[in-house]
Amino acid sequence: MNHVSEAAVLRTRKPRGQGASRRGEILEAAKRLFTEEGFAHATMRRIASVVGVSPTALYLHFSDKEAILQATAEEFFSELLVELHRAQTGVETPLARLRAGMKAFVMFSLDRADEYRLTFQTKPKALPQPPHSGDVENVADMSFAVLENAVAELLAAGYFRKGDPCVIAETIFACLHGVTSAVMDLADRMQCGREALIDSVIDTTLRGLTCPNAGPTA
């Protein structure tokens, strides 16, 4: 497994004293270390060395590497919310909006594969909580709420078969996570194109949830 070049990072790092940019610099360096060397092998001392600061200075921004991972997940979900809003803006019907959001989730995640893996597939002692229903307390919950609210709207309008909105939303998420992971890790073994597979999974999932007599405006 390749290691991050400390010299390369140090050549491009910003001058000392830029607190806000320093935090972003730490996140970028840590993401690279987590991805290339593995989360389990990364240490705060190693991260500090790559960034070019002392361990003490690093602790001013993050208490431990789990906190850095949590910040990475929060950044991922914050940017995802923006992308979901963009993809669904101007889409008229509830089912079309949901489909647009599902496609946007997959494409966004593929564009940020490292962050996606760190958010959903890394298992530290303080793993960022997976999407779940309930009070919207953080950006992960807010992202899942977009999906769950869309499901509730389609259930109320009679477009979806009756069921628990949370179970249906988590089923959709499981399908999206599955195709996202498959495209990331198994694309070279697949005969169909990436777009064809993604569209097929989304369409098949929605067909299975949609009532046979749902109107054409869905």
- Residue by residue, DSSP assigns 81-121 as HHHHHHHHTT--SHHHHHHHHHHHHHHHHHHTHHHHHHHHT
Q: Which residues contact 171 (CB under 8 A, 6 or more apart)?
A: 205, 209
Please give the DSSP secondary-structure letter assigned to residue 188: G
Please determine whether the domains at 6-62 and 72-209 fall in the same fold group of CATH: no
CATH code of the region 72-209: 1.10.357.10
Average pLDDT over residues 121-150: 69
How high is the pLDDT of residue 124?
60
pLDDT averaged over the chain? 84
Measuring CA to CA, which residue among 156, 151, 154 is closest to residue 168?
A: 151
Average pLDDT over residues 76-84: 94
Burial class (CB in 10 A: 0-12, 13-18, 19+), 43: middle
Fold adopted by 6-62? Arc Repressor Mutant, subunit A (1.10.10)
How high is the pLDDT of residue 217?
45
On whether the pTM is more than 0.85, the answer is: no
Average pLDDT over residues 181-189: 88
Percent of the chain residues past pLDDT 70, beyond the cut: 82
Summarised one tens digit per residue, pLDDT across range 5-27 is: 444 434 434 444 455 588 999 99
Q: Where are the domains of the chain?
A: 6-62, 72-209
Residue type, position 213, single letter: N
